[in-house]
Amino acid sequence: MARARSDSPPLFDIDCKPDFAFEKRAIKEGQWPVAGLDEAGRGPLAGPVVAAAVILNPKRIPKGLDDSKRLTAEQRDLLFDKILASALGVSMASICAEGIDSINILRASLEAMRRAALGLSVQPRLALADGRDIPPGLPCEGRALVKGDQRSQSIAAASIVAKVMRDRMMSGCGQAHVHYGFEAHMGYATPRHRTAIGNHGPIARLHRVSFAPFRLGVEAAECDPDMLIDAPLETHPAATSG
């Protein structure tokens, strides 16, 4: 007899592509539609956290869906268009920097996912959320999947939508605030961004003043990179060679 697939993360990281297994199981159990939930922008020093909810069409799943961090910007943009053209439902929501400062980044991320789920035009029966926490107040049953964007195609689609939307928002901020280079680093704590903060200071309602270096001072943050933010940094393409 085949062993049921566990919801627990694998003991060792395996470089695999997300599939539709969780969704197929839900369909068999009468829990359709299934929405994938994910966010982008937990780690940056500036800008909103953006979440997306996606209900894929089982008959029109775009090829190449994956964790947004494992895709190039060009791949994400192409898949973004395909998701919007084929999905049964797509919704996005964001929490601004001031909101993040007032309730903390974890709660803001979960609230953004909740709002995205509520904004779907198709009522889901089950929501698969990336991470360890189920967003409170969902309009349906929720299920948390660690590394869900690498395991579920619905979550992967949500991660792509959230990432593309947030990058476009931050690129717009770069045009409005030319000294900070947001279009290059998307608000992450790169040397260029930290230098701009030191030279020009934080931007009201855009920088997250509850994060270091704003609480500790730019000099302190420069001396201790581990204290740059309150939550673990996400790897961002602009800050790596890949």
Is residue 226 over pLDDT 60? no
**Residues 56 and 23 sit within 8 Å (Cβ to Cβ):** yes
What residue segments make up the domains of the chain, in order of their start? 21-168, 172-231
Nearest partner of 54 among 18, 30, 78, 83, judged by Cα: 83
Per DSSP, 120 falls in state -
Residue range 187-208: mean pLDDT, rounded: 95
* Predicted local confidence at residue 16, as pLDDT: 85
CA distance 53 to 155: 8
CA distances from 24 to 51, 74, 77, 189, 212 (A): 24, 29, 27, 39, 43
Helices (H), 2-104: 21-28, 73-86, 97-103
Q: For residue 50, with 0-12 CB atoms within 10 Å meaning exposed, 13-18 middle and 19 or more buried, which class applies? A: buried
Respond yes or no on whether the N-terminal peptide bond of residue 213 is cis (omega within 30° of 0): yes
Relative orientation angle of helices 153-176 and 73-86, to the nearest 10 degrees: 120
Q: Kind of pairing, strands 89-95 and 49-55?
A: antiparallel
User: Could you say which DSSP state residue 181 is in?
Assistant: -
pLDDT in tens, 74-103: 999 999 999 999 999 999 999 999 999 999
CA dihedral over 181, 182, 184, 187, signed as positive or negative: positive
Question: What local confidence, expressed as pLDDT, does residue 213 receive?
Answer: 74
What are phi and psi for residue 149, nearest 5 degrees? -70, -10
What is the pTM (predicted TM-score) of this model? Answer: 0.83
Work out the pLDDT band at 212, boundaries 50, 70, 90. confident
Domain 21-168 is found in CATH 3.30.420.10: yes
